[in-house]
Amino acid sequence: MPGIAEVRSFNRVVTREIGALADRFLGRDRSLGASRLLFEIGPAGSEIRRLRARLGLDSGYASRLLRGLEAEGLIRSFASTSDARVRLVTLTPAGRKELAVLNRLSDEAAASLLNRLTGSQRTSLISAMHTVERLLLASAVRLHLENPRSRAAQSCIARYFEELAARFEAGFDPTLSIPVAAEELTPPRGCFILATLHGEPVGCGALRCHAACGEIKRMWVAPSARGLGIGRRILQRLEELARRRRIPLLRLETNKALSEAQALYRSSGYREVSPFNDEPYAHHWFQKRLRTRGR
Amino acid sequence: MPGIAEVRSFNRVVTREIGALADRFLGRDRSLGASRLLFEIGPAGSEIRRLRARLGLDSGYASRLLRGLEAEGLIRSFASTSDARVRLVTLTPAGRKELAVLNRLSDEAAASLLNRLTGSQRTSLISAMHTVERLLLASAVRLHLENPRSRAAQSCIARYFEELAARFEAGFDPTLSIPVAAEELTPPRGCFILATLHGEPVGCGALRCHAACGEIKRMWVAPSARGLGIGRRILQRLEELARRRRIPLLRLETNKALSEAQALYRSSGYREVSPFNDEPYAHHWFQKRLRTRGR
DNA sequence: CAAAGTCTCTGACTATGGTCAGAGAATGCC
DNA sequence: GGCATTCTCTGACCATAGTCAGAGACTTTG
């Protein structure tokens, strides 16, 4: 495959140069792990289990690092009021100050890198970095079948509904929309695809199967993860699942406010058709005929 | 400064994603340090001091890692014939085999990253990676004043002459060219600038000062480091040094085969003039008037 | 030829990052 | 209410990465 050598060369160079930058904030008398933790806690505080998940830390190791920061007087920890097993940590004023210092050092390291370049080199570096970053994230996104009742699925659906409420002219009240029961999105009656980035849900999409057609529902991508082609990947996966079930036709409806969704559907081969249901929040109805040959 | 946030965000994402890729070749029962060393030794073998310099290792640490690899039967080490203090290491057949395995694993990791992208995403990722890599390297290049007699300077000059010999129609014999003594490139009579990338010399340039003008000599950039703007930086540094000495005019001559050098001179404000010396290898003579105001 | 410097190796030491098993408290599920 | 699960913490442990001082062999320089 072309590109492998380029990727490897990139890896070598970047680990070396970025490593050199990262060294800068050693020199505070704190380990890299503790500094990363301080960054991850952030000004707003966080649950410990969330920190562990995001940094991929062993529970014992995380606990020790946190106790170290607590001994330094940088953080405070206390039990969550809603679930006393979960502990929360927040920065103390001293912790906020230290985080500000780390941020300043990081800024300076980045600036010193940029300073060694000419203006046009700087511009192209920044834009290329942005591209690499987005595409690396895109390649780290995983799709998997999920039970629509799971916590992750429910949180996606909730955020999806929130967004609909904010974007639809008339707001959005799920009870007025055509209902979709969880069982209808669970095999064998349908399926629910969850997209995750480092374990965090960043998008979803569902398929409800009828005798003669399938319906695409719950297509949503988190705002932070847009532009990575996740929506298209979810849609393709759902279509593949529909093909395996020998469903010949896919249908979906959408609101006029969701212009990027319409663009996705159109560019994925969906054609607008006359309304096939009386969904009160829909303005556009689409369908796509599937080739059910092959597996 | 604009771009700092982008650089920092890039660093976060890249260390995470590339780190995940690098984990793949743990799983051989060998430390990352030892694997890196194996890569760095390469099929052709290497001097130990060179390995240390390139990987930035402490001599004790390097020695221990090498003994580990030797105990595994992957490398062999022996004293250099030209300087018995220096030790050389080469891969044994088993070492070559192991390096091939590591290369395959790295290739697979890179391929799996690319495989998760669409064709057009892949193309833009590779081109953006290439840009980032080149520009990070460019920003890692350092210029410093060097004694032209030093080993590093001499090796640059030797490689420069080799290249001239290869590229000039008539070949190149330094003894036929106008001689330049090392003292003429040493303060106070002149200066020699060396460009290094991670400690390795990758380019040079020199200034020879006369009463009324300065001469630019020995402008060279290693083939592996071209396209990073190093030549331009060296030239600018030499001009700055000339300005400080209140030299009003810079001159240089060059061969017609060195087209990229001519492009650099022209775009840096040098104008072609009639021959001011009888350098047998020159086809073009340039000069640039300096503004000697300022410090 | 002596002194200074280079290169490698050894031994002693340290911090960091990380794993594992288990305990205790709280919670959710039947 | 009982049981499995979740979450955190503790103690014991380990490998890796790295530092430092010094010794020995060799080379360059004056």
Q: pLDDT (tens digit, 9 = 90+) per residue, B88-108?
A: 999 999 999 999 988 888 888
Select the residue from B4, B107, B142 to test the A interface by mutation, using most A Cβ atoms within 10 A. Answer: B4
Alpha-carbon separation of residue B117 from A33, A138, A147, A189, B44 (angstroms): 31, 7, 26, 30, 35
Q: Is B207 exposed, middle or buried (0-12, 13-18, 19+ CB in 10 A)?
A: buried
Q: What is the pLDDT of residue A295?
A: 45
Q: For position B129, what pLDDT does the model report? A: 93
Residue type, A91: L
Dist. CA A128–CA A106, nearest whole Å: 20
Query: For position A24, what pLDDT does the model report?
Result: 54
Q: Which nucleotide is nearest to B35 (CA to C1')?
A: D16
| Confidence class for position A90, pLDDT limits 50, 70, 90 | very high
B83 CA – D27 C1', rounded, Å: 8
CB count in 10 Å sphere of residue B112: 12
User: Rounded to an integer, what distance in angstroms lies between the CA atom of residue B78 and that of residue B81?
Assistant: 9
Least confident of A11-25, A171-185, A271-285, B276-290: A11-25
| B50's tokens | 């060179």
How many Cα neighbours within 13 Å face the side chain of B292?
Answer: 13
Eight-state DSSP code of residue A30: S
Q: How confident is the model at residue B77 (pLDDT cuts 50, 70, 90)?
A: very high
Nearest to B221 by CA among B184, B179, B169, B263: B263
Answer yes or no: is pLDDT of A75 > 90. Answer: yes
User: Taking the CB of residue B120, how many other CB atoms lie within 10 A of it?
Assistant: 9
Given this model, what pLDDT does residue A86 score? 92
A251 vs A208: CA distance, rounded Å: 10
Rounded to the nearest 5°, which phi and psi values hold at A202? -130, 5
d(CA B164, CA B172): 6
Confidence at residue A153, expressed as pLDDT on a 0 to 100 scale? 86
Q: Residues A169-173: what's their mean pLDDT? A: 87
Cβ of residue A23 closer than 8 Å to a chain B Cβ: no
Which nucleotide does the CA of A49 lie closest to, via C1'? Answer: D7
Query: Helix count (H) and strand count (E) of chain A?
Result: 9, 10
CB contacts under 8 A, B 119-148 vs A, are 121-122, 124-133, 135-140
A180: closest CA among A203, A153, A201? A153
Indicate if the pLDDT at residue B26 is higher than 60.
Answer: no
Residue B239: pLDDT band by 50, 70, 90 thresholds? very high
* Distance in angstroms (rounded) separating the CA atoms of residues A122 and A127: 9
Q: Specify the pLDDT at position A25.
A: 57
List A90's β-bridge partners, or say none.
A76
Give the separation between CA A145 and CA B197, rounded to whole angstroms.
Answer: 48
Mean pLDDT of A14-28: 68
Radius of gyration over every alpha carbon of chain B, rounded to an integer in angstroms: 24
Between strands A249-254 and A214-221, the pairing is: parallel
In B, which residues are within 8 Å of A143 by CB distance? none
A2 contacts chain B (CB < 8 A): yes
Could you write out the DSSP letters of every residue in A167-219? Answer: HSTT---GGGSPP--GGGGSTTTEEEEEEEETTEEEEEEEEEE-SS-EEEEEE
pLDDT confidence tier of residue B14, bands split at 50, 70 and 90: confident
Per-residue pLDDT averaged across A72-91, rounded?
91
Cα–Cα dist B233/B225, whole Å: 13
Residue B277: DSSP 8-state: S
| Res A23: pLDDT | 60
pLDDT of residue A22: 66
pLDDT of residue A292: 66
**With contact defined as beta carbons under 8 Å apart, do B152 and B193 qualify?**
no
pLDDT above 80 for A199: no
Given its phi and psi angles, is residue A73 left (phi above 0), alpha (psi -120 to 50 degrees) or beta? left
Which distant-in-sequence residues (6+ apart) come within 8 Å of B122 by Cβ? A3, B114
**Residue B138 class from Cβ within 10 Å (0-12 exposed, 13-18 middle, 19+ buried)?**
buried
Q: Which nucleotides of C are covered by protein (CB under 7 A)?
A: 5-12, 15-22, 24-28
Tell me the mean pLDDT in the region B173-194: 86
**What mean pLDDT, rounded, does chain B reach?**
88
**Is any atom of nucleic acid chain C found less than 7 Å from the CB of residue B85?**
yes
- Tell me which chain B residues have a C-beta less than 8 angstroms from the C-beta of A135: 117, 121, 124-125, 128
Does the pLDDT value for residue B43 go beyond 60? yes
Q: What is the DSSP letter of A274?
A: S
Mean pLDDT over residues B237-255, rounded? 93
A115, A125, A135 ranked by CB distance to B117: nearest: A135
As a rounded value in angstroms, the CA-to-C1' distance for B187 and C6 is 27
User: Is pLDDT at A129 greater than 50 in this prediction?
Assistant: yes
User: pLDDT value at position B11?
Assistant: 83
Report the range out of A17-31, A59-73, B97-111, B171-185 with the highest average pLDDT: A59-73
The pLDDT tens digits of the residues spanning A30-51 come to: 888 899 899 999 999 999 999 9
Does the pLDDT at position B16 exceed 60? yes
Kindly list the structural domains of chain B, giving each domain's residue range(s) and its CATH number in brackets, ordered by start: 4-116 (1.10.10.10), 142-289 (3.40.630.30)
Query: Residue A270, Cβ neighbours under 10 Å: how many?
Result: 22
User: pLDDT band for position A26 (50/70/90)?
Assistant: low
Residue B31 DSSP one-character state? -
The closest nt to A56, taking CA to C1', is C18
Q: Is the CB of A59 under 7 A from strand C?
A: yes
pLDDT the model gives residue A119: 86
Tell me what pLDDT residue B66 has: 95
pLDDT in tens, A240-273: 999 999 999 999 999 999 999 999 999 999 999 9
Q: Which amino acid is at A93?
A: P
- CA dist list (Å): A118 to A132, B129, B135, B219, B265: 21, 19, 10, 20, 18
CB pairs under 8 A between A and B: 152
* Whether residue B188 has pLDDT greater than 60: yes
Instruction: Please report the pLDDT score of residue B232 as a whole number.
Output: 93
Confidence of residue B45 (pLDDT cuts 50, 70, 90): very high
Average pLDDT over residues B200-204: 89
Report pLDDT for B295.
45
- Give the pLDDT confidence score for residue A163 in this predicted structure: 93
The HSE-up count of residue B136 (CA atoms within 13 Å, CB side) is 25
pLDDT in tens, B107-127: 888 888 898 888 889 999 999
Q: How far apart are CA B197 and CA A93, in angstroms?
A: 42
List of protein residues whose beta carbon is under 7 A from strand D = A 47-49, 52, 59-60, 62-64, 66-67, 77, 83, 85-87; B 30-34, 57-61, 83-85
